[in-house]
Amino acid sequence: MAEYRFKVGTTVMCNFGEQGWKLGRIVALNYRETTWAEDIFVPYQVLLDDNYTLIYVPEDNDRYCREATVEDVRILKRKDALADIESEIIDVGQSKPDSKENKLSCDNDPNESTYERYRKGRCHCCNDCPKDWSYVELYSEHYRCTIRNDLKITRHEFNLGKFKVGDEIKFSLSEELAGKSGFMQNPTLVRLPPGIIFSDDASLSGKVHFDPHRESEYSVGFVAVSTIDWNNHDVGILRLEINFEIEGNNPGKNFDIKSFEKTQTKARSQAVNLLKKLNRTWDLWESQSLSNRAVCDGMIADLKLLRELCENHPRLDNGRWWAHLGGFHMNVHKLLENTLFECELYLGYALTFGDDYVRYYAEQNLNGCYQKRLLETARFMWYDGIEYILQNDWENAISTFREAALKKDGWGWAVNHGDIWLAEAVATILQGVDNGPNSGNPKDLDWIDEAEKLLEKASTRANAAGVFDAEGHPWISEVISSLKSYKDLISNNNDTTDWLSEFMIRTVFWCSQVLAGVAPFPPKCRERLADESALIEKLPGHNALY
């Protein structure tokens, strides 16, 4: 028997081309079928997790089959990040973070944007008020804001049985849950049959209509969440799941199914063409054939068309195009457009469809989105620290810079040259000089060693970028020179008053350059392309009849 990478029982991901990756378990090695020639074998036979189909893997490499990660299993084993964690998920390494006091609060500064509070770095870069959490903050396996902030999850599941087209559905919460509300925060409305209305008190009502997007029989796994009691340790985040079956989902005499399919085919063709155009534009950027501005303008225009198409055909291909809409907004965000909100909004909405392929694709992109949250947070905490320096608040400046650097190891969104470590070094120097030596103890000057270590890290990062001349990053070079002068002064017991005055003047100058977005610092953050609330309002609500 040949040597293979995996053993029987290994959980793997199998590549199905356009259908995406599917989860399965290896059940046989050196597999062959009776109709094959006697010398023909394949490495693995796999039992698929979703429908228990047996397949075989033609070659033993990652193109066809790779070992499943904990993340893969989480995504494909449950409907969302708030669903119950099965023992199988725990077995492959799922772990809960250590319990700790969270910093969540809904008593926020009204001047702070609801949708940008993550930039303060509080609460693991989640919005600090759970009542404002988005689809991704609640449902994504990569954001997992409930788990990160150690909130309790209370789950209730109801099975309503079977219904036919034309049947009436009436559901309300049981007596123990009566009076609960807040379930319209981010419900998965697209999973409901047309004609069924969900309300904020978690009630369902209405008559089941024919759904041309689904088979003659289909399952409904509707999920809604209430965060109203997030601060109640006995309740926390309340997850409601309502399951039922629909039978007899067939078009009536008055429904032109051919016309509907023709409309869907035309919309799909338009979406495919827009996707091709977006890919071509990005390829031109990667080959340096188009400028950043030209790429952004072209992609933003095409993304607007794709968004309009999604709004006009919201259920086309089970949310696939919403996922692409969010994914391509990540490209323009990379070019410093202020579009992370769009990435999260559309990828999060795609999660609500409950389609395994779409969810897996969306989650792959949301991994990058959460990392971009960390990058944005590092950048805006850097700005906050700069403001503290201008207020002579060295302690808060230093703590803010340290937290910012921890988000992405000294990186930020377009903050690429060790700037965060540099700013911490400056605040450390100012604090050290301001405190002054209190005794002859050499430890009173330990801050010099700390500042030099930070400057060395910043200088190494800046030099590795390859964008500066032999003199290096101008502010880093200036601070290194100034610190050397300070050391010379104190070694000779000379007065440092003039040195401090000059250093403060230059610090204010450089801080102003940072906040103004003057090179070599990143340009000021661009204004948003669209109002966040307006984009949310454009998302589809309950399913239309057709």
pLDDT tens-place string over residues 500-545: 999 999 999 999 999 999 999 999 999 998 999 999 999 999 987 5
Report residue 342's pLDDT band, with 50, 70 and 90 as the boundaries.
Answer: very high
pLDDT digits 0-9 by tens, 148-204: 999 999 999 999 999 999 999 999 998 888 889 999 999 999 999 999 999 999 999
What is the pLDDT averaged over residues 10-37?
A: 90
Given a contact cutoff of 8 angstroms between Cβ atoms, the answer to whether 420 and 378 are in contact is yes
Res 449: pLDDT: 95
Confidence of residue 225 (pLDDT cuts 50, 70, 90): very high
Q: Closest Cα to residue 382, out of 418, 337, 332, 334?
A: 418
Question: Which percentage of the chain shows pLDDT scores above 70?
Answer: 95
pTM confidence score: 0.89
Burial of 546 (0-12, 13-18, 19+ CB in 10 A): middle
Checking 198-206 for CB contacts under 8 A at 24+ apart, the result is 198/222, 198/224, 198/542, 201/172, 201/173, 202/172, 202/173, 202/177, 202/226, 202/240, 203/170, 203/171, 203/172, 203/173, 204/169, 204/170, 204/171, 204/172, 204/242, 205/169, 205/170, 205/171, 206/168, 206/169
* The pLDDT of residue 87: 47
Tens digit of pLDDT for each residue in 78-98? 889 999 865 444 444 344 444
Q: How far is CA 258 from the centre of its chain?
A: 39
Q: Looking at residue 86, what is its pLDDT?
A: 58
Distances (CA, A) of 117 to 7, 110, 124, 500: 46, 11, 11, 36
Of 45-59, 131-145, 199-213, 313-327, the one with minimum mean pLDDT is 45-59
pLDDT tens per residue across span 236-284: 999 999 999 999 999 988 899 999 999 999 999 999 999 999 999 999 9
Question: What tokens does 322 get?
Answer: 């919403």
